[in-house]
Amino acid sequence: MSSTTEITQAPRRLLRLKQVLDRTGLPKSTMNSRISAGTFPKQIPVGSSVRWLESQVDAWIKALVDERDHPGQSGGTAVEYRL
């Protein structure tokens, strides 16, 4: 058996700030506050800029929808969401 690890997940994609803001609808200041509070995915440094991992942003959005659709069933990991 080979000792190399196969990548079985979909390719990871990095999003620019504008793409993240468009997807979430958050103002930049709110997003930065949530990053500082640990309630939004942290940026990834890429050269002199930053990016966000698409799968983490999508998971954050999904958690908001799940909490909306099933309030109180998140096992204490509810996502706080205010615009």
- Domain membership of residue 32 (yes or no) is yes
Number of compact structural domains in the chain? 1
Inside any domain, residue 81: no
Of 82, 23, 27, 16, give the one whose Cα is nearest residue 49.
16
The answer to whether position 83 is within a domain reads: no
Question: What pLDDT, on the 0 to 100 scale, is given for residue 8?
Answer: 62
Of the candidates 10, 23, 48, 49, the one whose C-alpha atom is nearest the C-alpha of residue 40 is 23
Is 52 among the domain residues? Answer: yes
Segments forming the whole domain that contains residue 50: 14-69
Per-residue pLDDT in tens (0 to 9) along the chain, 83 residues: 555 555 566 678 999 999 999 999 999 999 999 999 999 999 999 999 999 999 999 999 999 999 999 998 765 554 554 43
Instruction: Name the β-bridge partners of 52.
Output: 15
For the beta carbon of residue 57, count every other beta carbon within 10 angstroms: 18
CATH number at residue 41: 1.10.238.160
- 23 is a domain residue: yes
SS (HEC) of 14-60: EECHHHHHHHHCCCHHHHHHHHHHCCCCCCEEECCEEEEEHHHHHHH
Question: Is 79 within the bounds of a domain?
Answer: no
